[in-house]
A and B are shown apart, each in its own frame.
Chain A
């Protein structure tokens, strides 16, 4: 049967690791006759994402590769046929079906089974394990009628199983753990406590230090009896008390196995028989069973390499892991437990938001050894990189988990701490290393020159501020003196120029250039000065439209193909049926594509520039006003439905969102501003991802600032707690005005704060304690901006001279741009691709 001369490799087990071995071996050589035995009826599936089976994924969605893949690659599959015996003398395996298959090499990828502790009553109906798709089907069936469910085991898999029960609608779900804390293998006691309180808030009931003495019930489980005499009534029990390596075949064949299970292997994954290898959860390497998939894949790679004359060896594996458990971030890396005197730890704990972070440093404070992150694991990759690559730590290692709060020098140092391979410009695939090398070796010292040198920042442009920081940081590191200037035309920073224009009462770009600049300006300083002037005087943007950035020039967002989009303001996301009909009619009349935006409003795309004034005239007549979607200004204040409808809502988040949005609408800022108001801690408005976010508390409102999504997401930080509305508005006035006055051009609040000397503590001092003595000025300046609000579109619609500018051809105003092409998609129009 086997083709002449091709050695036969038999794989026992078609799990994730067994499959990965086939894939890796085939990638290296096709000079093998590959035969796979699997006892499950289906081909390998993704066990890591098993819980998604409950979330609507089908068994087929979870397959590692479809059936056809095995056929296409000439693999002989024996599914639902378990190997019962290995005859090492004759080098054959004997399957239950009676099949005898000779082998040259045998790979055991038998995995593990759920460990079922020896508790009286485990055989009763309603007691099951969490391991295979069949197990899940059984759980699903039981959960349909169960009211009280329990999971035995508070480890990783146990908590996942508990989530599955919650998702399946079991009214009361309990987690029973023998140890005094959850996930005892991965995280420390304080982290466990934080995780526990978060999970309890989500409805799980957790019982620690509980030894189950027996399972009660007549044939079918009705209760758990504990060693301390207590009883818990349950209709179903899922056991997830750990794994047991499937080593019975190996044991039967006389291969060496460990005392507590596991097939003993050396660094090449060879068992005590040189023709037989073991990989994945059944293998015992240096006294360790690896229960994660990544080390299993690495073992598969090692065997594939060995069979093809490679030299790869397995030398242990980093067990760092990060996962989202029932919506809670949990991560541990390096050595999470190491303590005094071998290490010193820094711990950050915020019980209110449920965040716990611990990092373990070497005793001299120079190296990161490991840590635990609960509730917020954003820093995981960076911390893991730091630990694995033994990167030097900043002078204040607490910055690693608290965020940089130091001086500008330190924060640019943190940018420089990115690994060289970090992708900075993803459009043009330029790494941090390439950018820094261009500075040091090719003497590239400006963003413009960098664009020319390696195209960084020439795609979407989103990375330009980061590129600038890297250039300046690298130059500073080389000892060069960096003056923060706008561009080649102004030797001042935005903040300096802001003050100069204010003191000298300058109100036009030309005046600013004549007094403080040189040359004829450019695409950097013109919009920046435009933003400063708007922040000072809030004059009509269109009065100086030729200095405005792309979208402010035509008060609309330019889209692919040169058409524009139209976004009326829908404050707080509240819109009436009548308003919806107006938008519908306008979109229909002008042939616009409509889409709901991320900020809870409606965007109409595909407008010809010459149609803009007519479109806005109709919208304004119906009571709408500009949504400023085109401006570096407040976009939306997103809101949840709040206490008026929601049974959890503490306060009326919608009314506050509308009030806040209307207060700050139209005000120009260094970059766009987004906000959100949530009516309770469930945070449906995602306020903590906004430039300023407001969350209702029992006593008032919590104010968070300086968060954003975007290319580098960052959570907002808590500025003030339990404040009333008047205080909230006062703090917001000060905060926003301080940002408008001091941020660099096109710098979001998050980056502004990251660069701020003293960080959040400093900002708090300025906004809350008025440490600079400018609070009254900030409030007055904000009041002036609010007072000068006008709907720019209303001004244009009512002014024939301004309306005239909205044409494509000035010498043929009635002709629309003939190059603009649209195609149809799902019943609406779309732009023909670039």
Chain B
């Protein structure tokens, strides 16, 4: 069973605003969202900008990478290198709670995130 939730697609920035294989932060409805342009994989991700470890608005400035045989995409917080899965938001080291991820799509040179 799957519950479908209606999302609203909001344009948040241009593709050129986000560096290749890096991230940047956008302001959406008063909230801070980290947008990642994983150019090496041709993928885009969006998560909360807040790292739950020390409550810092920092994930957008983190390093992208992959973990394990399955090459799970991840981001490492620049403060203390806690890493989080970009697919599930789960913390991959330590026992921090998971971060919120958002649906994301690119149309032309516009980036949209799915607001829940």
Contact = CB atoms under 8 A, between A and B. Distances in A.
19 contacts: A451-B93, A520-B66, A520-B71, A521-B66, A526-B63, A526-B65, A545-B22, A550-B79, A553-B61, A558-B58, A558-B79, A560-B54, A560-B56, A810-B18, A810-B35, A811-B17, A811-B26, A812-B26, A819-B32
A461 B12 contact: no
A829 B22 CA distance: 32
B13 A811 contact: yes
Interface residues of A, number: 41
Given A550-B79, A562-B56, A817-B57, A811 B12 contact: yes
A834 B66 contact: no
Central interface residue in A460, A545, A550, A558, by most chain B CB within 10 Å? A550
A458 B93 CA distance: 9
Interface string B31-58: 0100100101100000000000011111
Contacts of A545: 19, 22
B111 to A, nearest CB: 9
B27 interface: yes
B40 A510 contact: yes
A809 B73 contact: no
Nearest to A550: B78
B25 interface: yes
B64 A546 contact: yes
A519 interface: yes
Given A545-B22, A546-B19, A810-B17, A523 B57 contact: no
A459 B76 CA distance: 15
Contacts of A549: 63, 78
B20 interface: yes
Interface of A: 448, 451-452, 455, 458-461, 488-489, 510, 519-523, 526-527, 545-547, 549-550, 553-554, 558, 560-562, 805, 807-812, 815, 817, 819-820, 834
B24 interface: yes
Given A448-B93, A452-B94, A817-B57, A461 B66 contact: no
Contacts of A458: 80, 82, 93-94
B21 interface: yes
A522 B63 contact: yes
A519 B65 CA distance: 8
B57 A546 contact: no
Contacts of B66: 489, 519-522
B78 A812 contact: no
B40 A520 contact: yes
A811 B58 CA distance: 16
A562 B57 contact: yes
Contact of B58 (A488, A562, A812, A815): A562
Given A562-B57, A812-B27, A522 B67 contact: yes
Contacts of B65: 489, 519-523, 526
Central interface residue in A451, A549, A811, A819, by most chain B CB within 10 Å? A811
Central interface residue in B12, B32, B55, B61, by most chain A CB within 10 Å? B61
A820 B74 CA distance: 25
Given A461-B81, A546-B63, A810 B58 contact: no
A553 B78 contact: yes
A545 B22 CA distance: 9
A547 B55 CA distance: 23
A808 B25 contact: yes
A562 B80 CA distance: 12
A124 B6 CA distance: 100
Contacts of A452: 93-94
B85 interface: no
Interface residues of B, number: 42
B27 A811 contact: yes
Nearest to B96: A458
Given A553-B61, A811-B13, A561 B26 contact: no
B76 to A, nearest CB: 4
B101 interface: no
A809 B83 contact: no
Contacts of B40: 510, 520-521
A451 B92 CA distance: 10
Interface in B71-108: 71, 73-74, 76, 78-83, 93-94
Complex A-B, nearest 10 residue pairs according to Cβ-Cβ distance, in ascending order: A522-B65, A546-B22, A523-B76, A520-B66, A550-B78, A810-B17, A523-B63, A809-B27, A810-B24, A811-B26
A553 B80 CA distance: 15
Given A521-B66, A547-B63, A550-B61, A561 B56 contact: yes
B61 to A, nearest CB: 6
B78 A546 contact: no
Central interface residue in A460, A546, A547, by most chain B CB within 10 Å? A546
A562 B76 CA distance: 15
A499 B57 CA distance: 38
B81 A809 contact: no
Contacts of B35: 810
Contacts of B94: 451-452, 455, 458
A558 B82 CA distance: 16
A518 to B, nearest CB: 9
A546 B25 CA distance: 14
A834 B27 CA distance: 22
Nearest to B71: A519
Nearest to A820: B57
Interface in B1-29: 12-13, 17-22, 24-27
Contacts of B63: 522-523, 526-527, 546-547, 549
Nearest to B56: A562
Contact of A546 (B21, B71, B80): B21
Contacts of B58: 558, 562
A698 to B, nearest CB: 49
Given A550-B61, A558-B79, A522 B27 contact: no
A169 B8 CA distance: 80
Contacts of B21: 510, 546-547
A519 B68 CA distance: 9
A817 B24 CA distance: 13
A256 B17 CA distance: 90
A420 B54 CA distance: 30
A553 B24 CA distance: 12
A520 B41 contact: yes
A527 B63 CA distance: 9
Contacts of B27: 809, 811-812, 815
Contacts of A562: 56-58
Contact of A834 (B12, B55, B61): B55
A125 to B, nearest CB: 66
Contacts of A451: 93-94
B64 to A, nearest CB: 7
